[in-house]
């Protein structure tokens, strides 16, 4: 273009010269017509001159045309080219408003193309521009541009929408400046314009994403590829209690609750590795330490090269959901009025208890309690009072039952059920039932009124009398009907014999209690002999009940009842006290008896304060510990061997002697036996009874004797009734013996006589 223009310049100059040459020639020719003679010679030489001058002109023009341009000018040209290219590459349109021409504006082809037009289609006036603006923005934009031209300072920067040829609107960012003349009058307004529709879309989306990020109720946590926390949102802080400063730069493991196994986290990372995503329930911890159940989705973000750049975790706090779930669960299993377990929960518990007891070969009991005439309280005093009675009775029953082994439920209306795991005999169950009835009989003060009520109780022992939950409930219900039929305010078992037996035991129990308090019990003493020299070495104290009507009742009859009704420990204590007092008396009479043996029940053995009781008794009676022997049965030890071991150690530390009674019947292991801190094994009388004829019993007795010898324990044979048995045992080197052959259990004064005669014997 530039080159064409300069060539045109030369042609035009040449044309002017030729024209002026012709003009001059015409004048010369006119003058020459006045003097034709002279001018005929001039004419060819003029043409030659003109041709010469043309040659010279074109030679100079040619030189000048081909002459290299000065460097600065070439550079400026190149810069201009570059600028043009840059504008094209950057997709920047150029506009140039010549203010001297009012409304003429140059719009570059890129400018027009960006809006889908060619330059010719777009036009080149202010109106062409204005027409394509969004109508709502048109006036404002125009007045902004005018104001800028008036004020004219700084740079013009405006973002607006213009209509594309296809009808859509594009976002355009236009920036420019005003060029002024020497007087400060604006003469040109020039700038560039760029289609920012795409960028604007991205910005919009980012803005929206940020708004979501900031305002969502779900916690968001973003970590980088090294699992370092780089971003959290306000909801995160709200839910967890942590501020951004407290968590940024740390790893999410700081929220771990410790409630998930390593396998859980392994599975989580595996899922992320294979699918780039994991979602599920996870338990974390709030800053307060409280457990935070969350539903969380973790997603991996990868860069262009497929490498993990970030992890984004979005979670919602589901603790409320959990709470309402547990509330629903609560309502499904508990009675809202009393807070007790309801029928559903009772059946679940009963099922578990039944299975446990069946596996352990033990019995428990279910008590179905029904308040007598409760209906009349509701009808006469209203349901509110009735509800209060039910709440009060629930509290009372809960207060008296053994919380460790019994549970209370309300199965509807005025019906309650107590399940006890450790009351497996009719007598034990009857005692609990009596206590329940007694508790309900205490007057209630409700709304300043004193109310009296009673209860009937149906009992079912299980698995003894029922092998399924349904059977237990049905049997308890029919037992309850029996209790009601026999006048209410009482209890009944499913089977009538059991009810009878229970009542009998209860009456024996109360008589026994009275006997213990009124010196109705007494001690008999049975001698123990050293088998070698047949010398009296000690005695065993055996309790007797001197019943006013029945005479002497043997312990075999009343000790099991005493155990059932919880009286055995009191009896043992009484026996211990009495035996020690007696021993002290003998010692005062200078009778040197080696020991007095006292039996302890398994209940006493399991009492924590046993050693203290023994120590106190010894102290009170003035007997030295080495004169007291305590007998515990092998089966009592095996009930809870570790506990027994600990108690026996305590007792041994006191200095008392310890013996395993009825040895051979309790299945104790040799290793256990070896570690027990006892002095003596008492061979159970069942192995002695058939000696010496029974070869098996002989072998057992022999084995026990050898065992005792090898682990350094004394051995004493019980129940020696005949001389044969005695000789046989003597031959086996059995060190100690006890039995009718030596002497039956006898009252203290008889025993005193026996000792005296014994010691008088040489
Ligand atoms: P045990 O401790 O094994 O006592 C020995 C039992 O065998 C005594 O019965 C005794 O009278 C009986 N006996 C002794 N020699 C012979 C004999 O030659 N032949 C036969 N057939 N029997 C003999 P008892 O006094 O009726 O006591 C029975 C069980 O009652 C005792 O067995 C003991 O386990 C328990 N007992 C007795 N007194 C007490 C006590 O004060 N507290 C506790 N917890 N239990 C006691
Ligand atoms: Mg004994
Ligand atoms: Mg015995």
User: Residue 589's domain is classified under what CATH number?
Assistant: 3.20.20.450
CATH of the domain at 430: 3.30.70.270
Q: Ligand 1 centroid to 542 CA: how many Å? A: 6
Q: Which of 280, 303, 323 is the last residue of a domain?
A: 323
Indicate if 347 and 286 belong to the same structural domain.
no
Indicate if 612 and 519 belong to the same structural domain.
yes
Question: What's the rounded Cα separation, in Å, for the pair 560 and 571?
Answer: 12
What 3-state DSSP class applies to 620? helix
**Contact criterion met (CB below 8 Å) for 328 and 395:** no
Predicted confidence (pLDDT) per residue in 147-168, tens digit: 888 887 788 999 999 999 999 9
Atom 8 of ligand 1: nearest residue by CA position? 542
Atom 2 of ligand 1: nearest residue by CA position? 599
- pLDDT of 762 reads 38
Question: What's the rounded Cα separation, in Å, for the pair 454 and 438?
Answer: 8
Indicate if 572 and 709 belong to the same structural domain.
yes
Task: Tell me if 664 CB under 6 Å of ligand 1.
Answer: no
Indicate if 43 and 147 belong to the same structural domain.
no
Among 542, 557, 684, the mutation site with the greatest number of ligand 1 atoms within 8 A of its Cβ is: 542
Q: Ligand 2 centroid to 542 CA: how many Å? A: 8
- The pTM for the full model equals 0.53
Q: What ligand 1 atom has the least distance to the C-alpha of 524?
A: 25
Boundaries of domain holding 220: 216-323
Residue 384 phi, psi dihedral angles, 5° rounding: -65, -45
Indicate if 546 and 655 belong to the same structural domain.
yes
Burial class (CB in 10 A: 0-12, 13-18, 19+), 390: buried
Strand-pairing partners, residue 716, are: 682, 736
The answer to the question of residue 369 being in a domain is yes
239 CB contacts (<8 Å, ≥6 apart)? 219, 286, 292, 315, 317
Q: Ligand 2 centroid to 595 CA: how many Å? A: 13
Task: Tell me if 662 CB under 6 Å of ligand 1.
Answer: yes
The answer to the question of residue 710 being in a domain is yes
Q: Which of 281, 300, 323 is the last residue of a domain?
A: 323
Task: Tell me if 630 CB under 6 Å of ligand 1.
Answer: no
Task: Tell me if 559 CB under 6 Å of ligand 1.
Answer: yes
Among 718, 738, 741, the mutation site with the greatest number of ligand 1 atoms within 8 A of its Cβ is: 718
The closest alpha carbon to 742, from 755, 726, 729, belongs to 726
Indicate if 603 and 728 belong to the same structural domain.
yes
**Contact criterion met (CB below 8 Å) for 580 and 614:** no
- pLDDT of 448 reads 83
The closest alpha carbon to 428, from 346, 364, 512, 356, belongs to 364
Distance of CA 224 to the CA centre of its chain: 28
The answer to the question of residue 507 being in a domain is no
pLDDT, averaged per 10 consecutive residues of the chain (762 residues), comes to 61 77 68 55 65 78 68 78 80 88 86 94 91 92 87 85 94 92 87 91 88 90 93 94 95 87 89 92 88 90 90 90 77 86 92 94 95 86 88 93 92 93 89 93 87 93 93 93 88 84 82 90 96 92 92 90 86 96 93 93 90 96 96 88 91 96 80 84 94 92 93 94 95 96 94 78 40
Atom 13 of ligand 1: nearest residue by CA position? 719
The answer to the question of residue 509 being in a domain is no
Domain count, the chain: 5
Indicate if 362 and 282 belong to the same structural domain.
no
**Contact criterion met (CB below 8 Å) for 648 and 690:** no
Indicate if 650 and 536 belong to the same structural domain.
yes
Q: Whose structure tokens read 């040799």? A: 670
Q: Of how many residues is the chain composed?
A: 762
Task: Tell me if 668 CB under 6 Å of ligand 1.
Answer: no
Question: What's the rounded Cα separation, in Å, for the pair 292 and 172?
Answer: 50
Indicate if 433 and 484 belong to the same structural domain.
yes
Task: Tell me if 719 CB under 6 Å of ligand 1.
Answer: yes
Atom 43 of ligand 1: nearest residue by CA position? 599
The answer to the question of residue 157 being in a domain is yes
Pairing of strands 229-232, 219-224: antiparallel
Indicate if 232 and 88 belong to the same structural domain.
no
- pLDDT of 31 reads 64
Among 563, 599, 666, the mutation site with the greatest number of ligand 1 atoms within 8 A of its Cβ is: 599
The answer to the question of residue 202 being in a domain is no
Q: Whose structure tokens read 């019947």? A: 665
Q: Ligand 2 centroid to 531 CA: how many Å? A: 18
Indicate if 709 and 596 belong to the same structural domain.
yes
Q: What ligand 1 atom has the least distance to the C-alpha of 554?
A: 26
Task: Tell me if 599 CB under 6 Å of ligand 1.
Answer: yes
CATH of the domain at 292: 3.30.450.20
Task: Tell me if 737 CB under 6 Å of ligand 1.
Answer: no
Q: What ligand 1 atom has the least distance to the C-alpha of 721?
A: 18
Atom 4 of ligand 1: nearest residue by CA position? 542
The answer to the question of residue 653 being in a domain is yes
Q: Which of 323, 342, 357 is the last residue of a domain?
A: 323
Atom 35 of ligand 1: nearest residue by CA position? 555
Q: What ligand 1 atom has the least distance to the C-alpha of 682?
A: 3
Task: Tell me if 645 CB under 6 Å of ligand 1.
Answer: no
Atom 12 of ligand 1: nearest residue by CA position? 719
Q: Ligand 3 centroid to 312 CA: how many Å? A: 76
The answer to the question of residue 104 being in a domain is yes
- pLDDT of 22 reads 72
Indicate if 261 and 404 belong to the same structural domain.
no
Atom 45 of ligand 1: nearest residue by CA position? 599
Task: Tell me if 556 CB under 6 Å of ligand 1.
Answer: yes
Task: Tell me if 477 CB under 6 Å of ligand 1.
Answer: no
- pLDDT of 67 reads 66
Ligand number with the minimum distance to the CA of 682? 3
Pairing of strands 736-737, 714-717: parallel
């Amino acid at each position: 273009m530039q080159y064409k223009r300069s060539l045109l310049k030369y042609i035009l100059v040449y044309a002017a010269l030729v024209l002026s040459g012709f003009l001059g020639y015409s004048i010369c020719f006119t003058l020459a017509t006045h003097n034709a003679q002279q001018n005929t010679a001039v004419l060819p030489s003029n043409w030659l001159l003109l041709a010469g001058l043309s040659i010279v002109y074109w030679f100079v023009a040619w030189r000048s045309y081909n002459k290299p341009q000065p460097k600065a000018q070439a550079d400026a040209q190149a810069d201009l080219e570059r600028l043009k290219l840059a504008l094209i590459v950057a997709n920047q349109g150029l506009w140039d408003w010549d203010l001297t021409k009012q409304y003429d504006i140059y719009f570059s082809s890129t400018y027009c193309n960006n809006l889908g037009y060619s330059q010719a289609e777009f036009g080149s006036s202010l109106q062409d521009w204005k027409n394509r603006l969004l109508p709502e923005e048109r006036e404002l934009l125009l007045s902004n541009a005018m104001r800028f031209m008036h004020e004219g300072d700084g740079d013009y920067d405006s973002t607006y929408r213009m209509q594309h040829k296809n009808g859509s609107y594009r976002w355009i960012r236009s920036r420019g400046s005003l060029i002024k003349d020497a007087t400060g009058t604006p003469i040109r307004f020039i700038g560039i314009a760029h289609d920012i529709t795409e960028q604007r879309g991205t910005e919009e989306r980012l803005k929206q994403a940020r708004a979501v990020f900031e305002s969502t109720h779900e916690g968001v946590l973003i970590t980088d590829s090294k699992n370092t926390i780089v971003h959290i949102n306000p909801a995160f802080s709200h839910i967890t209690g942590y501020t951004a400063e407290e968590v940024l730069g740390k790893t999410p493991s700081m929220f771990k609750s410790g409630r998930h196994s390593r396998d859980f986290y392994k599975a989580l990372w595996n899922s992320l590795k294979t699918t780039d995503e994991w979602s599920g329930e996870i338990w974390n911890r709030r800053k307060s330490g409280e457990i935070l159940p969350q539903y969380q989705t973790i997603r991996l973000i990868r860069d262009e090269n497929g490498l993990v750049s970030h992890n984004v975790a979005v979670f919602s706090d589901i603790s409320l959901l959990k709470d309402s779930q547990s509330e629903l669960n609560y309502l499904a299993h508990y009675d809202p009025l009393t807070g007790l377990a309801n029928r559903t929960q009772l059946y679940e518990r009963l099922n578990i208890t039944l299975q446990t007891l069946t596996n352990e070969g033990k019995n428990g009991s279910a008590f179905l309690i029904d308040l007598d005439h409760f209906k009349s309280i509701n009808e006469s005093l209203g349901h509110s009072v009735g509800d209060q009675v039910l709440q009060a009775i629930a509290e009372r029953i809960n207060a008296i039952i053994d919380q460790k082994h019994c549970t209370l439920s309300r199965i509807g209306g005025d019906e309650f059920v107590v399940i006890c795991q450790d009351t497996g005999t009719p007598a034990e169950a009857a005692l609990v039932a009596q206590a329940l009835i007694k508790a309900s009989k205490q007057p209630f003060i409700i709304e300043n009124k004193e109310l009296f009520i009673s209860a009937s109780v149906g009992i079912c022992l299980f698995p003894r009398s029922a092998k399924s939950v349904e059977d237990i409930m049905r049997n308890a219900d029919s037992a309850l009907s029996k209790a009601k039929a026999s006048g209410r305010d009482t209890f009944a078992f499913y089977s009538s014999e059991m009810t009878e037996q229970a009542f009998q035991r209860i009456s024996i129990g109360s008589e026994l209690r009275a006997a213990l308090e009124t010196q109705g019990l007494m001690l008999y003493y049975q001698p123990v002999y050293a088998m070698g020299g047949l010398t009296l070495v000690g005695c065993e104290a055996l309790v007797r009940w001197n019943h006013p009507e029945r005479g002497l009742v043997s312990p075999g009859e009343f000790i099991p009842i005493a155990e059932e009704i919880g009286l055995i420990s009191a009896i043992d204590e009484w026996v211990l006290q009495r035996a020690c007092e007696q021993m002290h008396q003998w010692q005062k009479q200078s009778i040197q008896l080696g020991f007095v043996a006292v039996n302890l029940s398994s209940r006493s053995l399991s009492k924590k304060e046993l050693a203290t009781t023994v120590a106190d008794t010894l102290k009170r009676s003035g007997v030295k510990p080495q004169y007291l022997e305590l007998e515990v049965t092998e089966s009592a030890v095996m009930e809870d061997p570790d506990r027994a071991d600990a108690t026996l150690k305590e007792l041994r530390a006191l200095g008392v002697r310890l013996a395993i009674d009825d040895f051979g019947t309790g299945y104790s292991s040799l290793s256990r036996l070896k570690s027990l801190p006892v002095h003596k094994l008492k061979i159970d009388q069942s192995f002695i009874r058939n000696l010496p004829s029974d070869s098996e019993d002989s072998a057992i007795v022999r084995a026990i004797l050898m065992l005792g010898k090898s682990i350094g324990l004394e051995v004493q044979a019980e129940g020696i009734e005949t001389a044969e048995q005695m000789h046989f045992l003597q031959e086996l080197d059995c060190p100690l013996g006890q039995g009718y052959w030596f002497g039956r259990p006898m009252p203290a004064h008889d025993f005193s006589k026996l000792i005296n005669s014994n010691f008088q014997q040489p």
